[in-house]
Amino acid sequence: MTTVDALTPTRRLSAFAIPLICVAQLMATLDVTIVNLALPAIQRDLDLSNAGLAWMIDAYTLAYAGLLLVGGRTGDLIGRRKTLLAGIGLFTLSSLVGGLAGDPALVLAARVGQGVGAALATPTTLSMITTLYPLGRQRTRAMVAYGAMAGLGITLGLVLGGLLTQAASWRWVFLVNVPIGVVLLAAAPRVLPESTGVRRRVDVPGALVGTAGLTALVYGVIRAGTDGWGEPWSVVALVAAVALLAAFVVIELRVDEPMLPLGLLRHRVRLGAYVVAGLLFACLYPSFFLLSRALQDVLGQRPVEAGLRFLPLGVGVLLFAVLTRRLVQKVGPRTLVLGGTAATAVAALALVLLDRDTSYVALLLPCLVGLGAGVGVTFVANAAAAMTDVAEPDAGIASGLLSTFQAVGGTLGVAALAAVAARVTEDRAPTAASMNEALLAGFHPAFAIAGGLAVLAVLTALLTSPRQ
């Protein structure tokens, strides 16, 4: 196995390399949430059922989470710039189709295309940072920017989704990606150097079985969250996921050049970083989902008003990501990851106090700033920990693993906690004074569980993070 013309940290880079990589990451993460506040308008315009509306979110998540490992390894094998351009190109084309489509099936197909494009682009961005920049100030700056974009994309998605839907049309939550994608496609060949990849056999069985296993897992959880955990197809999908992922492990242990070198998971620091990422997203995604519902369905705010309420979260992400850059060399990643996950846990648990008379300034504003602080600090420090001691030929798959834990954790969290909230609301509705009271009764235990997942992230970091 040899690397041909591999990227080296000493190569002179354009000053625009980090901004371009970060904008690509921002565009991919933006679409995780930008559709959320546009869903009612999409449903009215396309005459979608509730099940069809749920798939506007789930179609993206299913394709994205299922193919992240393949996307990460593709960058290692054929070159990271080529893979990034392919991902951005597919994402941009799919966004154009989704924005112009009048048929619900075509819009869903566009969401799948966006998910596939993001699965190619997202792991490539982090792997390019770790292979292009040496350890020290340059890489720290790049990691800060990457972490800020990862968290900021989620926040801006909520804000822009409300603004674009109310000011123009739901179609602009798709079309806004097109000019960004075109600029990236034009600039990347001039800004980013290319690696020619690694000469190795392609692990086709591992790629097929691993992708099928992750897709079955995500599909089973999504279906269980809407139709119940005892629903036959949910059970079939989850059992198939267990069998396929077990077969994937067996395949990877036996092939000479596996798609996923399992040794990546034997490193205590890296494994801990992956688990922390999964738990943190399992807390954050349902918290954002439930809070956006509470702002509109309980507090009666319009999409643009609800979206703007999330701005402090984005400000918190940026400020604390920059602060982390200054602190990481002094206090080390362990302290920062512990502090970031603890801030997330406190903010999520405090949302249990939400009620119809809640003051935005007294409760929601501090909670959103706390979540932003947790995201800004943890993303930066934890992303660096996840790439600890990774050989350059495996940088893409290591980054893909981090993205996979994040995506699967977020999907599991939304499906499970949305199901908890719905079940409690359904049980409380007959005796509640109003539907708002029943909804709040369902949101409270879901927020408590989300905070508990963040507490587990704190404990995981405590046990696995290096002391220096």
Instruction: Please report which helix (H) or strand (E) contains residue 3, including its range.
Output: strand 2-3
The C-alpha atoms of residue 42 and residue 303 are separated, in whole angstroms, by 13
Closest CA to 7 of 192, 159, 252, 262: 192
The C-alpha atoms of residue 280 and residue 419 are separated, in whole angstroms, by 19
Q: What is the pLDDT of residue 8?
A: 41
Q: For residue 404, what are its two tokens?
A: 């996979």
Q: Which residues of 422-436 are buried (b: 16+ CB within 10 A; e: fewer)?
A: eebbeebeeeeeeeb
Closest CA to 94 of 158, 160, 175: 175
| Ramachandran angles phi, psi of 2, nearest 5° | -130, 150
Write out the E strands in 54-201: 198-199
| Ramachandran angles phi, psi of 182, nearest 5° | -65, -45
Count Cβ atoms below 10 Å from residue 183 Cβ, excluding itself.
14
The C-alpha atoms of residue 31 and residue 150 are separated, in whole angstroms, by 11
| Ramachandran angles phi, psi of 322, nearest 5° | -65, -40
Stretches in the chain below the pLDDT threshold 70: 1-14, 50-51, 135-136, 147, 150-151, 195-202, 329, 466-468
Q: For residue 18, what are its two tokens?
A: 């980090």
Count Cβ atoms below 10 Å from residue 389 Cβ, excluding itself.
9
Instruction: Please report which helix (H) or strand (E) contains residue 2, including its range.
Output: strand 2-3
* Alpha-carbon dihedral angle through residues 405, 408, 413, 415, given to the nearest 10 degrees: 180
Judge contact between 411 and 222, C-beta under 8 A: yes
Query: Residue 445, class by beta-carbon neighbours within 10 Å (0-12 exposed, 13-18 middle, 19+ buried)?
Result: middle
Q: What is the pLDDT of residue 391?
A: 74
Output the CA–CA distances (angstroms, integers) from residue 190 to 50, 86, 310, in the order listed: 45, 16, 36
232-287 pLDDT per residue, tens: 988 999 999 999 999 999 998 888 778 777 877 888 888 999 999 999 989 988 88
| Ramachandran angles phi, psi of 140, nearest 5° | -60, -45
Residue 199 pairs with which residues in a beta bridge? 2
The C-alpha atoms of residue 94 and residue 123 are separated, in whole angstroms, by 19
Q: What is the pLDDT of residue 201?
A: 67
- Length of the chain measured in residues: 468
Closest CA to 263 of 393, 79, 127: 393
Residue 2 pairs with which residues in a beta bridge? 199
What residues contact 328, with CB distance under 8 A and at least 6 apart? 140, 336, 380, 381, 384
- What angle do helix axes 435-464 and 311-350 make, rounded to 10 degrees? 90
3-state secondary structure of 113: helix
Which residue type does 99 have?
A: G
Q: Could you tell me the sign of the dihedral formed by the alpha carbons of 127, 129, 132, 137, in that order?
A: negative
pTM comes to 0.80
